[in-house]
């Protein structure tokens, strides 16, 4: 029979208390007392039992497991007859474990409190290193986090919290008015896009199908942190996003570039800024032997070159491209009729009618016959008396006032004095008088068109030699002679033929024609300052005179033929003249980005035509002429097809992620840049010194390295 | 036994199914740009509290809660689930924060100690049952003392009765050290009763030189040696079953503290 160490007799069993904090120190010697240690670990041993008193006698109560009643029995005072020496109680295993747990928890709590409330909590509470750009620009958690925000549990509270946090991001990263909406677009713009791109999904990935089923409208109220995860290490890509994440909101969802919807009109989203027909130039003009001799282009690179960032292909400047064939057209070479623009003219008027009405206009050439030029009208409109005279004159013709009313005749007289006054101002003050009449304008805007006061002075001396005296007397209120015919122009001046006057300024400039008392300007070449200045100045000027100037100068047949090539865009009621070809716009981020230089080595034998194929059937002219809407056009080139790109853009080749070709944040990149502010000047310095003194003081401090 | 197997299989499959569902939801949420780290964090916190409540349940026996054995089952499977949710929560990226590094480390240590405890509690009890009489751990020091006393009595009796010191010499040379020996902490993992067999073989070899009376006493000693073997096995095994909790439970407390700090930081600073 196997020997059993533990007694199975019920009254021989010991009473174990493994849950107690303390155990008797004599347990291992089989001498554990029946009382056991106290709650605080003190030994409570006195004897083997607590004698009980019955009547006047004490009886032993020792447990049977300890041998039942002892032989000596209790002492007369009731104490146990078998005293037990005290022990040193030991902690139980459970107690040791508990103490270990509390000690470790205490250490952990100290660490946590240090992290949360310690002086270095910005370092301790940091869940991970920031990317360098944020690590350099932030000093503490509160720069990017709402430290005092209440804890948010409800959906509305969390949305508020997200918005508040995003505002901290947007404090530096300004994304414009639609800063929190997808792609920075308004709801209406998104709706238009959704309508335009309403393509049925080819094969929606399973995960996206689930997302789509759960969120028909896609995720709304996106936070910056939805995509840009910080505290993931210095080298973490903040812009990392999977293709599936890009497509969550999109109606057409697909696996990889192969499933991407076919391009529609990429990359020809608008007409070109310059009206240039590749079909006719390459098909008819360039192959011509005569033109070929004038260095007609032989390849696309003759006229185009990549921008510095390699993305856009630019058009070279005028001198490198169009000048060899078109320069003469601007200065008026071979042009039939006048080559200049009439700027100032002494208008003709009905002398007989005015004399009869008693209107005195003073000295005035008898042979003046023309009307006011639009430029003069624009300048006269700025003068209140002239404006009133023009209004009172109404539709009456200056050269035929026979049927005009007395008031109209009086208005005609006032108008003629206003013309004289204008001439006097321009002669004596020059360009400042012109600017004064044109009114305030944006800083830096050119508006005088290099107006020549000396040219006008010479004309005035020939046409109205007493002009300044007369105008001065008129302004003093003195009565002028009723009509005085100005002296005839000098013989030498009169002998200058019409064509000769223009021929004196073959490279552009001011000239006058005494036969019709008109001062002209002849365009001097490409980007002529007079034409560009006046076209720009009048493009969005609502006055009738300004419109007349714009219409005159922007006609395709106008001197300078600006609009033969340059186009005018009209949007939101504003006209913009495209003087420049498409230029890199670092401030703009489009949806699609493409780097030409990265693809040069991939071109086939066709060169640029590998991708840009001329479409001979396109009605290119439709987009120009009187059309000012850049979106209405037909490109010279056939839209690119996805097949061209997908040859290389596959996962195993050049890659096909969404972000390879697309930007999420679109619009004005100027907004995406960090808002940089000048460092503040210490208040004491600012109060005690002026700007120059401050600058010198700071320079001194920087040099000496001490305040 | 089959019912036990079926139950375990059912719970395991259910756990795997839940983990698979959570992983799928996590993937969908990630694609949908949802704050999945926040969601998995809350879930992990709930799981941690549920797991911790197993310990509290043992301290609240008076509440009519489900039985401790069911709690243990739930503790085991929820523990495995928590490991999966933890992996989703950190997105397989080791954290870098001063709070998050120890938090992740402690979580892993708690999980590993839990797995160790699960294995020990499955592996050791059957070995202990096969070893012999089941002993109450707290009484083992007392029983060891009792055994030593008995051995000494037998040896003294042998000297008195037979006037021979053969068994006495054997006691001094072998038995005293053997009975005083306390097994090492990891003795059950090392396995084997080599020391015990050596002592028994020596005693067996000694029989050739013993008188009839001494042989009878040697038989008593052999019984005591066998009892000591079982006592050592019980002691070492039960001690190991208690010692793993010295890692699991205190680290759980630490885990809760770090978790509280982490949750506070997240709620305080989170952008979402």
Check whether residue B253 and residue B126 sit in a common domain.
yes
**B183 and B53 assigned to the same domain:** no
Check residue A675 and give its pLDDT: 53
Structure tokens at A123: 């370092």
Contact B145 A29 (CB under 8 A): yes
In a domain, A303, yes or no: no
What residues contact residue B125 under an 8 Å CB cut-off, 6+ apart?
Answer: none
- The pLDDT, as a whole number, for residue A407 is 92
The total domain count for chain B is 2
Q: Report chain B residues whose CB lies below 8 A from the CB of A233.
A: 96
Q: Does residue A551 share a domain with residue A685? A: no
Task: Tell me if A109 and B257 make a contact (CB, 8 A cut-off).
Answer: yes
What is the model's pLDDT at position A131? 92
Alpha-carbon distances, residue A223 vs A145, A164, A194, A213 (angstroms)? 13, 10, 22, 22
Is the pLDDT at A686 greater than 50, yes or no?
A: no
Residue A57 lies in a domain: yes
Walk across the sheet containing A518-522 and list its strands. A341-345, A518-522, A509-513
Same domain, A363 and A489: yes
Q: Is B245–A125 a contact, with Cβ atoms under 8 angstroms apart?
A: no
Residue A471 shares a structural domain with residue A415:
yes
Yes or no, beta carbons of A30 and B253 under 8 Å apart: no
* A5 to B34: CB separation less than 8 angstroms, yes or no: no
Q: Is the pLDDT of residue A107 over 80?
A: yes
Looking at CA atoms only, how far is residue A139 from chain B in angstroms? 15
- Cis ω before A267 (30° cut-off from 0): yes
Q: In terms of CA atoms, which chain A residue is nearest residue B103? A: A108
Phi, psi of A618 (to 5 degrees): -70, 140
Question: Which 112-141 residues of chain B touch chain A by CB within 8 A?
Answer: 132-133, 135-139, 141
Domain of A244 in residue numbering reads as: 126-262
Contacts of A6 in chain B (CB under 8 A): 133, 135-136, 139, 143
Contacts of B149 in chain A (CB under 8 A): 30
| More confident position, A245 or A154 | A245
Size of interface A-B (CB pairs under 8 A): 171
**Rg of chain B, C-alpha, whole Å:** 27
Task: Give the distance from residue A180's alpha carbon to the nearest chain B alpha carbon, in angstroms.
Answer: 14
Nearest CB among B133, B224, B242 relative to A6 is that of: B133
Of B31, B106, B258, the CB nearest to A208: B31
User: Which spans in A323-430 are helix H?
Assistant: 323-331, 351-357, 374-381, 384-393, 406-429
Domain check: are B88 and B196 in the same one?
Answer: no
User: Are B104 and B197 in a shared domain?
Assistant: no
Task: State how far the Cα of B178 lies from the Cα of B90, in Å rounded to an integer.
Answer: 52
B145 vs A30: CB contact, 8 Å cut-off? yes
Whether A548 maps to a domain, the answer reads: yes
- In angstroms, the CA A510 to CA A518 distance is 11
Tell whether A354 and A213 lie within a shared domain: no
* Position A693 pLDDT exceeds 50: no
**ipTM confidence score:** 0.90
Same domain, yes or no, for B81 and B61? yes
Instruction: Answer for the pair A691, A154: CB distance below 8 angstroms, yes or no.
Output: no
Nearest to A18 among B32, B138, B253 (CB): B138
Do A359 and A492 reside in the same domain of the chain?
Answer: yes
The pLDDT of A628-635, averaged and rounded, is 90
Say whether A128 and B95 touch across the interface (CB within 8 A): yes
Asked if residue A493 has pLDDT above 80, the reply is no
User: Are residues A514 and A390 part of one domain?
Assistant: yes
Q: Are the C-beta atoms of A521 and A507 separated by less than 8 Å? A: no
- Residue A482 pLDDT grade (very low, low, confident, very high; cuts 50, 70, 90): low
SS (H, E, C) B138-150: HHHHHHHHHHHHH
Query: Are residues A555 and A265 in contact, defined by beta-carbon separation less than 8 angstroms?
Result: no
Q: How far is A146 from chain B (nearest CA, A)?
A: 6
A702 is a domain residue = yes
Residue A127 has pLDDT above 80, yes or no: yes
pLDDT greater than 60 at residue A315: yes
Q: Scanning every residue of chain A, which has its alpha carbon at the shortest distance from the alpha carbon of B264? A: A116
Q: How far apart are CA A17 and CA A32, in angstroms?
A: 12
Residues of chain A positioned with their CB less than 8 A from the CB of B224: 3
Residues of B in contact with A232 (CB under 8 A): 93, 96
Query: Are B115 and B226 found together in one domain?
Result: no
- To the nearest whole number, what is the mean pLDDT of chain A? 83
Contacts for A349 with CB less than 8 Å, ≥ 6 apart: A361, A364, A368, A398, A399, A401, A412, A416
Picking from A544, A564, A584, the residue at the C-terminal end of a domain is: A564
Q: Which two tokens stand for residue A482?
A: 């009723």
Residue B160: give the domain boundaries: 137-239
- Smallest CA–CA distance, residue A231 to chain B, in Å, is 8
Select from A32, A127, A151 the Cβ nearest to the Cβ of B100.
Answer: A127
Considering its fold, how many domains does chain A have in total? 4
Chain A residue nearest residue B98, CA to CA: A124
User: Residue A635 burial by CB count (10 A; 0-12/13-18/19+): exposed, middle or buried?
Assistant: buried
A574-578 and A567-571: which strand pairing?
Answer: antiparallel
Distances (CA, A) of A280 to A566, A617, A618, A633: 17, 12, 11, 16
Nearest 10 degrees: Cα torsion A463, A468, A472, A477: -10
Residues B115 and B165 in one domain: no
- How is B25-91 classified by DSSP, letter by letter? HHHHHHHTT--HHHHHHHHHHHHHHHHHHHHHHHH-TTS-PPPHHHHHHHHHHHHHHHHHHHHHHHT
Q: How far is CA A269 from CA A305, A578, A592, B73, in A?
A: 20, 16, 11, 65
Closest by alpha carbon to A509, among A437, A458, A444, A462?
A: A458
Same domain, A86 and A131: no
Query: Residue A180: what are its φ and ψ, rounded to 5°?
Result: -110, 5
Give the sign of the dihedral formed by CA A591, CA A597, CA A598, CA A600.
positive
Q: Residue B19 and residue B8: Cα distance in Å, rounded?
A: 16
Report pLDDT for A305.
94
* Percent of chain B clearing pLDDT 70 (strictly above): 99
pLDDT in tens, A129-164: 999 988 887 778 888 888 766 666 777 787 888 888
Q: Are strands A363-364 and A341-345 parallel, antiparallel or unpaired?
A: unpaired
Residues B105 and B227 in one domain: no
CA A113 vs. chain centroid, Å, equals: 44
Instruction: Identify whether residues B253 and B203 lie together within a single domain.
Output: no
- Say if residue A87 is in the same domain as residue A153: no
What is the nearest CA distance from A316 to chain B, expressed in angstroms? 45
Q: What is the pLDDT of residues A79-96, one digit of tens each?
A: 888 888 889 999 998 899
Tell me if A651 is assigned to some domain. no
Contacts of A3 in chain B (CB under 8 A): 223-224, 226-227
Provide, rounded to the nearest whole percent, the portion of chain A with pLDDT above 90.
34
* pLDDT on residue A673: 55
Question: Smallest Cα–Cα separation from A211: which of A263, A261, A247?
Answer: A247
Collapsing DSSP to helix, strand or coil, A152 comes out as coil
Q: Which residues of B are less than 8 Å from A147 in CB distance? A: 268-269
Please tell me whether residues A174 and A74 are part of one structural domain. Answer: no
Distance from CA of A124 to the nearest CA of B (A): 5
**Chain A nearest-CA residue for B24:** A207
Distance CA A379, CA A374 (A): 9
Same domain, A380 and A483: yes
Q: Which of A1, A28, A108, A173 to mutate to test the interface with B (most CBs of B within 10 A)?
A: A108
N residues, chain B: 272
pLDDT value of position A138: 79
In this complex, the residue of A97, A152, A214 whose CB is nearest that of residue B246 is A97
Cα nearest neighbour of B250 on chain A: A101
Among A564, A595, A610, residue at a domain's last position: A564
Which range among A432-436, A678-682, B115-119 shows the weakest confidence by mean pLDDT? A678-682
Cα distance between residue B253 and residue A103, in whole Å: 10
Residues A83 and A130 in one domain: no
- Give the integer Cα–Cα distance in Å for A475 and A479: 10
Contacts of A223 in chain B (CB under 8 A): 271-272
Asked if pLDDT for residue A468 goes beyond 80, the answer is: yes
Which residues of chain A does B242 touch, with a Cβ-Cβ cutoff of 8 Å? 93
pLDDT attached to residue A519: 94
Best of A27, A112, A160 to substitute, by most chain B Cβ atoms within 10 angstroms, is A112
pLDDT above 90 covers what percent of chain B? 64
Alpha-carbon distance A2 to nearest alpha carbon in chain B (angstroms)? 8
What distance in Å separates residue A669's CA from the closest CA in chain B?
24
pLDDT confidence tier of residue B221, bands split at 50, 70 and 90: very high
Cα distance from B78 to chain A (closest Cα, Å)? 22
Cα A422 to chain centroid, rounded = 44
CA–CA separation, B38 and B41 (whole Å): 5
Could you tell me which residue, A52 or A588, shows the higher pLDDT?
Answer: A52
> Any chain A CB within 8 A of the CB of B180?
no
For residue B250, the chain A residues in CB contact (below 8 A) are 97, 100-101, 103-105
Same domain, B191 and B98: no
What are the phi and psi torsion angles at A568 (to 5°)?
-120, 125
pLDDT in tens, A295-305: 778 889 999 99
Domain identity same for B152 and B264: no
CA distance B79 to B81: 5
Choose, out of A3, A4, A5, A148, the residue to mutate when testing the contact with B (most B CBs < 10 Å): A5
Mean pLDDT of chain B: 91
For residue A207, list chain B residues with Cβ-Cβ distance below 8 A: 27-28, 31
CB B138 within 8 A of CB B124: no
Tell me the CA distances in angstroms from B128 to A1, A28, B10, B224, one per residue in order. 19, 22, 28, 18
Q: Return the pLDDT at A705.
A: 39
A499 pLDDT above the threshold of 70: no
Say if the Cβ atoms of A125 and B224 lie within 8 Å. Answer: no
CB contact under 8 A, B246 and A100: yes
**Of A229, A262, A295, which residue is a domain's last?**
A262
In A, minimum Cα distance to B228 occurs at A5
Q: Which residues of A touch B230 (CB under 8 A)?
A: 5
Co-location of A520 and A424 in the same domain: yes
Alpha-carbon distance A668 to nearest alpha carbon in chain B (angstroms)? 25
User: Which among A561, A623, A58 is positioned nearest to A318, based on CA atoms?
Assistant: A561
């Amino acid at each position: 029979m196997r020997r059993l160490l533990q007694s199975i007799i019920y009254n021989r069993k010991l009473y174990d208390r493994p849950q107690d904090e303390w155990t008797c120190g004599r347990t291992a010697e089989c001498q554990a007392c029946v009382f056991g240690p106290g709650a605080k670990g003190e030994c409570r041993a006195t004897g083997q039992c607590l004698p009980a008193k019955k009547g006047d006698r004490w009886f032993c109560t020792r447990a049977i497991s300890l041998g039942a009643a002892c032989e000596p029995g209790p002492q007369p005072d009731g104490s146990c007859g078998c005293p037990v020496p005290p022990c040193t109680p030991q902690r139980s295993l459970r107690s040791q474990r508990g103490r270990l747990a509390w000690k470790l928890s205490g250490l952990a709590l100290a660490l946590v409190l240090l992290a949360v409330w310690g002086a270095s909590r910005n370092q301790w509470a940091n869940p991970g290193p920031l990317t360098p750009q944020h690590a350099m620009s932030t000093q503490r958690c509160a720069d990017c986090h709402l430290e005092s925000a209440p804890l948010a549990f409800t959906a509305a509270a969390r949305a508020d919290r997200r918005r508040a946090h995003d505002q901290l991001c947007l404090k530096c990263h300004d994304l414009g008015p639609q800063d929190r909406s997808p792609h920075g677009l308004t709801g209406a713009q998104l709706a238009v896009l959704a309508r335009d791109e309403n393509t049925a999904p080819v094969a929606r990935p399973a995960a996206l199908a689930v997302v789509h089923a759960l969120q028909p409208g896609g995720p709304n109220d996106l936070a910056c942190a939805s995509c840009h995860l910080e505290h993931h290490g210095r080298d973490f890509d903040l812009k990392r996003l999977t293709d599936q994440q890009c497509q969550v909101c999109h109606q057409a969802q697909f696996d990889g570039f192969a499933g991407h919807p076919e391009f529609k009109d990429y990359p020809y989203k608008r007409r070109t800024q310059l009206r240039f027909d590749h079909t006719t130039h390459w098909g008819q003009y360039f192959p011509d032997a005569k033109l070929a001799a004038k260095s007609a282009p032989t390849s696309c690179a003759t006229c185009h070159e990549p921008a510095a960032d390699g993305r856009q292909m630019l058009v070279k400047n005028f001198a490198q491209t169009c000048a060899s064939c078109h320069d003469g057209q601007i200065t008026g070479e071979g042009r039939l009729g006048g080559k200049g623009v009439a700027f100032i003219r002494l208008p003709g008027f009905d002398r007989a009618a005015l004399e009869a009405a008693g209107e005195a206009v003073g000295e005035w050439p008898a042979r003046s016959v023309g009307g006011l030029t639009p430029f003069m009208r624009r300048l006269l409109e700025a003068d209140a008396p002239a404006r009133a005279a023009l209004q009172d004159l109404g539709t009456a013709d200056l050269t035929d006032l026979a049927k005009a009313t007395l008031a109209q005749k009086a208005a005609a007289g006032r108008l003629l004095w206003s013309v004289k006054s204008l001439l006097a101002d321009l002669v004596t003050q020059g360009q400042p008088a012109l600017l004064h009449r044109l009114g305030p304008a944006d800083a830096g805007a050119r508006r005088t068109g290099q107006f020549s006061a000396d040219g006008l002075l010479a004309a005035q001396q020939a046409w109205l030699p007493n002009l300044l005296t007369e105008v001065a007397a008129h302004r003093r209120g003195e009565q002028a002679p009723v009509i005085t015919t100005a002296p005839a122009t000098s013989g030498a001046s009169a002998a200058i033929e019409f064509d000769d006057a223009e021929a004196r300024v073959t490279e552009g400039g001011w000239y006058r024609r005494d036969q019709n008392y008109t001062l002209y300007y002849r365009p001097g070449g490409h980007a002529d300052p007079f034409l560009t200045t006046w076209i720009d100045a009048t493009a969005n000027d609502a006055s009738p005179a300004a419109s007349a100037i714009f219409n005159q100068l922007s006609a395709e047949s106008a001197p300078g033929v600006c609009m033969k090539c340059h186009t005018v865009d009209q949007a939101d009621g504003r006209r913009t003249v495209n003087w420049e070809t498409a230029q890199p716009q670092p401030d703009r981020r489009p949806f699609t980005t493409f780097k030409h230089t990265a693809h040069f080595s991939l071109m086939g034998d066709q060169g640029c035509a590998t991708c840009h194929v001329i479409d001979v059937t396109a009605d290119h002219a439709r987009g120009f002429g009187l059309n000012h809407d850049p979106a209405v056009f037909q490109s010279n080139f056939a839209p690119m097809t996805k097949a061209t790109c997908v040859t290389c853009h596959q996962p195993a080749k050049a890659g096909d992620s969404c972000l390879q070709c697309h930007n999420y944040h679109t619009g004005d990149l100027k907004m995406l840049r960090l808002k940089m502010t000048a460092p503040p000047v210490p208040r004491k310095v600012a109060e005690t010194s002026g700007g120059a003194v401050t600058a010198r003081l700071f320079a001194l401090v920087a040099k000496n390295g001490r305040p | 036994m089959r019912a036990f197997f079926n139950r375990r299989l059912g719970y395991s499959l259910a756990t795997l199914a839940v983990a698979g569902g959570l992983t799928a939801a996590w993937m969908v949420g990630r694609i949908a740009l949802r704050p999945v780290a926040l969601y998995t964090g809350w879930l992990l916190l709930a799981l941690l509290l549920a797991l911790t409540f197993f310990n509290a349940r043992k301290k609240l026996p008076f509440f009519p809660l489900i039985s401790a054995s069911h709690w243990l089952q739930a503790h085991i499977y929820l523990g495995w689930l928590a490991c999966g949710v933890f992996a989703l929560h950190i997105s397989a990226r080791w954290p870098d924060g001063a709070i998050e590094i120890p938090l992740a480390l402690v979580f892993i240590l708690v999980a590993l100690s839990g797995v160790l405890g699960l294995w020990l509690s499955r592996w050791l009890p059957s070995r202990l049952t096969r070893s012999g009489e089941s002993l109450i751990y707290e009484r083992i020091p007392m029983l060891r003392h009792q055994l030593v006393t008995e051995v000494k009595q037998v040896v003294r009796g042998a000297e008195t009765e037979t006037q021979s010191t053969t068994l006495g010499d054997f006691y001094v040379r072998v038995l005293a050290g053997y009975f005083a020996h306390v097994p090492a902490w990891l003795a059950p993992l090392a396995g084997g009763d080599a020391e015990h067999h050596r002592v028994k073989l020596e005693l067996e070899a000694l029989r050739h030189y013993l008188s009839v009376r001494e042989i009878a006493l040697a038989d008593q000693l052999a019984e005591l040696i066998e009892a000591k073997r079982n006592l050592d096995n019980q002691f070492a095994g039960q001690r190991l079953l208690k010692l793993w909790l010295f890692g699991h439970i205190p680290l759980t407390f630490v885990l809760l503290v770090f978790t509280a700090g982490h949750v506070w930081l997240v709620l305080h600073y989170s952008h979402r």
